[in-house]
Structure formats: C-alpha cells, structure tokens
C-alpha cells in the first residue's frame, strides 16, 4: 500500500487530499495554494481553520497556511499580505511513495497583479507529508529582465487547546519588533513565550528550531530560508472585529509564521529564492 493524492471538493473549492498508509493526511486548497488541514500519523489536527472562514475567493481563507507574497502584512504599498491568497493556483507535480505524498502548485503574474506590482514572477508551493512531518516550501523566481524585491511569509495558524496554556520555546534572547506596542524593538527574555494578551511580534534572525508545547503534545518547528519568525494572536478585542473568526477563535489558535519581513529579499532577473517551514509532531 502506498500513499495517495486525491482531487476532491473541500468547502466548495477544488482541493488535493494527501494521505499516507500510516494515517497522515493533509488538505491543500487550490485557492491560494493553502494547506487547510494536517493530521500527522497517529496524531490529531495541528492546523486551525476558522469555522467562519470564507472559501468563495472574496476574501482570503482564515486559517491553515496562507501564502503571503510579494508583500508581508502592510509593509509596502500593496494589499495586506500581497496578491496571491485569493487566486486559483495550478497543480504541477504530484508524487507519492510508500510513506510520503507530495504536491506542487504554481502561479505567476497576470494582468491584475502586474497592474498592482509590475513584475514578472513565478511562485511555487510544494507540500509534502511523511509520517509525523509536514513540509511547505515557497519558491519564487524572477522571470523578468530587471531585479525586484519582496517580502513573504507562510502564515501558519496552529491549533491549540487553550492558547494561554501553550508554550513556545526557542525565542529566548532574540530581538523582535512588537507591532502590538507601536512597533517598539524589544528583546525576548523569557524561557518560553506564553500568550496572555494581543501578540504581534516579528522576531529577527531566528536560526534555531522552535518547540510548541500544547498540553500533552508538542510540535517542532524548523525553518530554512526565511530569516524571521512572526508570532501572532489577535486576542479578544481584535478577534471580535474579524467577521471570519468566532468570538472564542483566538483561544484555539496561535500563528507561528516563517517570514521574510524585516528586510526585503532582492532577486535579480533569472534568479530563484526559496524558503521552507517544516512541522514535526513529537
């Protein structure tokens, strides 16, 4: 028995369902090339998908792993988090073996994106599941004739039992920009990050793995290529202002995002860049 990849409808949108014989499963929507669900072998769901998320393309899907490109947040003149979250991506490669399943989705500039950001580009998302591991890789290519610069992120919504009881380890000593406190630059001094209020931090130059402890389970978070880590939770007041999040949604999610946010990535014509986030259920 080998792993499988099935095309099906998920919330009225085409999606790919990846399964391994060991019981791992992921759902990847073609809308936004967004991973919406991931259950590792022998484990439980690790991604938060809002029950009030909209899947009709009118707004980005709230939850899972949105792809932010070519702009992260409002750090520029483009719409918040860029131009690719509400577009239909094209299925490229599909591969599966005895213990893994892999899919690649691609997109490139169109008339609408070129009007907002006049650059020729290719973007590719590769998703692989294998046992207790989920890997998501973003590759960006400059297909034009002049350099361009961008910011980007894999805006990962992790599901937790109660966010106040979750502990994120590995950020001790790192400098961060605190967007919830007037963008002040601070340094993390705790053994673990515990969310007890609105949290919106961009940690700089994070090179070591992180560990999220959620009750009786733990998740290892490894990043390559992305120099920053964003930790976000809207907390009660901000959550209440979001029509696609339930009132208690903030309690069951914690965004730990692989990002290139502090400095723009410069890409010459013909060059490629990639960044990867790997989640490992422990």
- What residues are labeled active site? 155, 257
CA–CA dist 227, 87 (Å, integer)? 26
Contact 131, 40 (CB under 8 A): yes
């Amino acid at each position: 028995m080998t792993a499988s990849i099935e095309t099906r409808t998920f919330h009225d949108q085409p999606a790919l369902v990846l399964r391994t014989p060991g019981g791992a499963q992921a759902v990847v929507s073609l809308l936004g090339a967004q991973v919406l669900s991931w259950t590792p072998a022998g484990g439980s769901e690790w991604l938060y998908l809002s029950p009030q998320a909209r899947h009709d393309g009118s707004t980005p899907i709230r939850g899972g792993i949105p792809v932010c490109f070519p702009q992260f947040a409002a750090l520029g003149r483009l719409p918040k988090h860029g131009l690719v979250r509400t577009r239909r991506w094209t299925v490229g490669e599909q591969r599966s073996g005895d213990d893994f399943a892999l899919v690649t989705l691609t997109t490139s500039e169109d008339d609408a994106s070129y009007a907002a950001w006049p650059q020729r580009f290719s973007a590719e998302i590769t998703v692989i599941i294998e046992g207790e591991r989920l890997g998501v890789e973003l590759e960006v290519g400059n297909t034009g004739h002049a350099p361009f610069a961008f910011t980007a992120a894999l805006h990962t919504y992790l599901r937790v039992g109660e966010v106040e009881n979750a502990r994120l380890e590995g950020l001790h000593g790192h400098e961060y920009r605190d967007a919830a406190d007037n963008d002040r630059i601070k340094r993390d001094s705790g053994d673990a990050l515990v969310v007890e209020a609105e949290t919106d931090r961009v940690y700089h130059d994070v090179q070591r793995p992180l560990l999220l402890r959620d009750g009786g389970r733990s998740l290892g978070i490894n990043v390559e290529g992305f120099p920053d880590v964003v930790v976000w939770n809207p907390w009660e007041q901000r959550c209440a202002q979001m029509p696609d999040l339930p009132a208690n949604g903030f309690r069951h999610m914690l965004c730990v995002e692989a990002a290139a946010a502090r400095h723009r990535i410069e890409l010459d014509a013909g060059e490629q860049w990639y960044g990867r986030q790997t989640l490992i259920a422990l």
